[in-house]
Every structure is written in structure tokens, then in C-alpha cells.
Amino acid sequence: MQMTNKPLAIALLLVTSCALAQSPGKKAPSVTMAPVEPVTVTRGKGGAVSLHFRVASGFHINSNTPKSEFLIPTALKMDAPTDIVLTKLTYPQGAEMSFPFAPNEPLSVYSGDFTVSMTVRPLHTVQPGKYAIHGDLKYQACDNAACYPPKHLPVDFEVKVLKGATPAGKNPAQSPHAHR
């Protein structure tokens, strides 16, 4: 950088910093999901899918099994095509954590990174190809002094179904459930 541009660069940084300093002291709570690579599965067989989520720093959300009936559990609801079965939906165990607002009542929460896994099993009747799987993660976040209304995070990933070997004596194309 040329010498003449240095003061200007500093001025730009300062002015921008001053503007950013106006931003709220508290960040909005958020949960994000890492992009998921397309999952390749042979029809009739199962394939594991792991969804990696991140809770924004300074916040926590209830685990899937919170300790009170009044707390809202983190829950993943998926909507898959009829012939692609999602099974073994597995949530991590929540961390037992105490917070200033309830020092004697540890809560079961997720904070930082957590992973929800499941098995994708396309039936023999599924036509080979790519399928979009949609869903949403419902969560309710809090920080050390406040809570925020429940939110839904869209969850999407792609399943690539391969033909694989046809079981002896079976012809999937003759199945009454075969996609045409």
C-alpha cells in the first residue's frame, strides 16, 4: 500500500468501527447448520447422515430431553419422500449446566457444536436419482439472563440413490410402489 493511502485506510477503518460500535450489545441468538455433502446410498441399504449444528457463542438451547416439562426441547422434524425412510434419529446427550438464573437447577442443554444423526434407507422401489430431503430444527435459546422465542432452522440435504444389485428373484420395476 502506498504511503498516501495509509491514513485513508485508517480513517476508513475508524469510521467503520465507530458505526459498528453502535450495534446492539447483545447478539441475536442463532443456530446454524454446516453444509451437508450429498449422501450416496444404495437402495435397500442404509446410509448414515450427520447434521452438524452450531449454537452462537453466549447462548444455549435446550437438549432434546430437557429436565422440565415446561422447557421446549430441541427437535428435528424431517419430511422425506415416501419411499425413503429416515430412521435412528439420534440426538446427543445434553450437557448438564448451571446458569446464574438457576444455580441450583442444572439444565440439559446444547451449546457450541452438536450433531444430530440419522439413517437414510431408500426402499428397493425407489428409482435411482437425486432426492431432496427437507426438515426443520425447532429450538429455543437463552443466554445467562434472558430467553428468546422458539425458532425454526430449515434443514436440507440431498440423497443420491444408487441402483445397486437387484435381489435374486425380485424385480423392483414390478413393485406396485415403484416410481414411474
Partner 1 sequence: MKRNPAALFFVAAVVAAMLFVGFHAARRAGGDASADSLDVAGKPAPDFTLQSLDGKNIQLSSYKGQAVLLNFWATWCGPCKIEMPWFVELQKEYGPQGLQIVGVAMDDASKDEITKFVKEMGVNYTILLGKESVGQEYGGVNVLPTTFFIDRDGKIVAREFGLQSRSLFVDNIKKALSQGHAVQAQK
Q: Which residues bind partner 1 (CB under 8 A)?
A: 4-5, 8, 11-12, 15-16, 18-20, 22-26, 28, 70-72, 99-102, 107, 140, 142-143, 145-150
Nearer of residues 84 and 141 to partner 1, judged by Cβ = 141
Nearer of residues 41 and 142 to partner 1, judged by Cβ = 142
Residue 39 CB, shortest distance to partner 1, in Å, is 33
Residue 50 CB, shortest distance to partner 1, in Å, is 28
Which residue type is seen at 166? T
Residue 15 CB, shortest distance to partner 1, in Å, is 5
Residue 63 CB, shortest distance to partner 1, in Å, is 14
**Alpha helices per DSSP H over the chain:** 6-20
- Neighbouring C-alpha atoms within 13 Å toward the C-beta of 6: 4
Q: Could you give phi then psi for residue 94, rounded to 5 degrees?
A: -75, 155
Nearer of residues 140 and 175 to partner 1, judged by Cβ = 140
**For residues 143 and 98, is the Cβ–Cβ distance under 8 A?**
no
**For residues 134 and 79, is the Cβ–Cβ distance under 8 A?**
yes
Residue 1 CB, shortest distance to partner 1, in Å, is 10
Nearer of residues 6 and 170 to partner 1, judged by Cβ = 6
Question: CA-to-CA distance for 154 and 134, rounded, in angstroms?
Answer: 7
Question: CA-to-CA distance for 9 and 107, rounded, in angstroms?
Answer: 48
Nearer of residues 104 and 174 to partner 1, judged by Cβ = 104
DSSP 10: H
Nearer of residues 27 and 170 to partner 1, judged by Cβ = 27
Looking up cell 425458532 gives 151
Residue 78 CB, shortest distance to partner 1, in Å, is 21
Closest by CA position to 136, among listed 33, 28, 63, 34: 33
